[in-house]
């Protein structure tokens, strides 16, 4: 009897371990990854020392070779992606929430990677890269850089913004470029009472100073132009899907009238959500994935007043899912 009990425990352990290993081998992926319309742009900079690079959607990058630790013969390339349409953020799973759990409204995201010999380059200490975003998108917005986890979930951290002014040198009669923290604009523009100091107008000229509209950043790769949005309230709930045999769920919270969304991958045994921001009309879009088949539904989160949400998932095409995600 004792031997049978031990054998039963061993078999149960092996079965449990097998299930856990099977679950771990199913790596969640972005169900919309195959319809991304944002292409990688590649620029061969060779051994150029100074150049302004212009992306297809208007991003301007001021490249200076001396801000990287490379030798004279090393060739450098730039990889650039521009995401200036909100649907592009949704389809590429570039969500808008900070490391502190703050909801962000995005005015655009870029991916910026300088490479040499196939490896990413980092900026030298205290060096920065100059970027001009199209349509004066920065304005009073903040600039955020991202950490990206193994499931391609983005978490944004605010960066200090430096701006460029062209200071007129009266002695020599020329303009000299000067990089300053954006917060210092109040000092340089102190004689102009009507100008909001924190603004970053493009090509705005005031007595003695010309604000160029270019910002200088000390972080590369994922860069987001954002402003923090205060939610109307926070909600806690648990999802109860009608389908049990799912590989995983992809859950979106899409905020109407602002360029914001949050996304989460979840296993079916972990469907509790806490402190989810609700702002304006907030749509909950749930995608269930099983053997590459997508099931979906959409719920108005504003109308939920229960601690559980029953979701009726139906088999869906990619186009149907795309329509569901539209605010």
The pLDDT tens digits for 42-86 are 999 999 999 999 999 999 999 999 999 999 899 999 999 999 999
User: What pLDDT was estimated at residue 250?
Assistant: 95
Of 166, 174, 175, 169, nearest to 214 by C-alpha is: 166
Q: Which residue has the higher pLDDT, 102 or 29?
A: 102
Report the b/e string of 199-213 with b at 16+ CB within 10 A: ebebebeeeebbbbb
pLDDT at 25: 59
How high is the pLDDT of residue 127?
A: 92
Residue 196 pLDDT greater than 60, yes or no = no
Q: Is the dihedral of CA 211, 201, 182, 138 positive or negative?
A: negative
Sign of the torsion formed by the C-alpha atoms of 153, 237, 233 and 281 = positive
150-154, 184-188, 212-216, range with the lowest pLDDT: 184-188
CA 295 and chain centroid, separation: 25
- For residue range 6-36, list pLDDT tens digits in order: 444 444 444 444 444 444 556 788 888 778 7
Q: Report the alpha-carbon angle 26-250-153, nearest 5.
A: 85
Computed over its alpha carbons, how large is the radius of gyration of the chain?
25
The answer to which of 125-129, 171-175, 273-277 has the lowest mean pLDDT is 171-175
This prediction has a pTM of 0.80
């Amino acid at each position: 009897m004792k031997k049978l009990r031990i054998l039963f425990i061993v078999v149960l352990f092996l079965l449990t371990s097998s299930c856990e290993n099977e679950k771990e081998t199913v790596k969640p992926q972005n169900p919309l990854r195959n319809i991304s319309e944002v292409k990688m742009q590649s620029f061969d900079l060779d051994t150029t020392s100074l150049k302004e690079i212009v992306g297809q959607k208007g991003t301007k990058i001021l490249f200076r070779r001396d801000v990287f630790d490379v030798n004279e013969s090393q060739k450098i390339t730039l990889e650039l992606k521009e995401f200036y349409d909100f649907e592009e953020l949704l389809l590429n799973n570039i969500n808008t929430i900070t490391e502190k759990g703050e909801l962000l409204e995005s005015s655009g995201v870029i991916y910026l990677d300088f490479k040499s010999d196939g490896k990413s380059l980092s900026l030298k200490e205290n060096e920065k890269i100059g970027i001009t975003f199209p349509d004066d998108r920065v304005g009073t917005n903040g600039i955020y850089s991202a950490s990206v986890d193994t499931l391609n979930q983005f978490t944004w951290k605010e960066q200090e913004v430096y701006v460029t002014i062209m200071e007129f040198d009266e002695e020599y009669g020329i303009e000299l470029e000067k990089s300053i923290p954006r917060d210092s604009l109040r000092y340089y523009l102190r004689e102009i009472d009507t100008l909001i100091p924190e603004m970053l107008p493009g090509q705005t000229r005031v007595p003695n100073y010309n604000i160029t509209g270019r910002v200088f950043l000390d972080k590369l790769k994922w860069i987001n132009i954002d402003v923090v949005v205060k939610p109307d309230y926070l909600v806690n709930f648990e999802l109860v899907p009608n389908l049990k045999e799912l590989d995983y769920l992809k859950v979106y919270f899409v905020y109407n009238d602002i360029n914001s969304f949050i996304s989460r991958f979840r296993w079916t045994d972990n469907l509790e959500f806490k402190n989810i921001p609700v702002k304006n009309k907030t749509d909950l879009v749930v995608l269930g994935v099983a053997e590459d088949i997508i099931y979906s539904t959409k719920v108005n989160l504003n109308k939920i007043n229960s601690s559980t949400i029953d979701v009726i998932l139906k088999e869906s095409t990619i186009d149907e899912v795309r329509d569901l995600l539209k605010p």
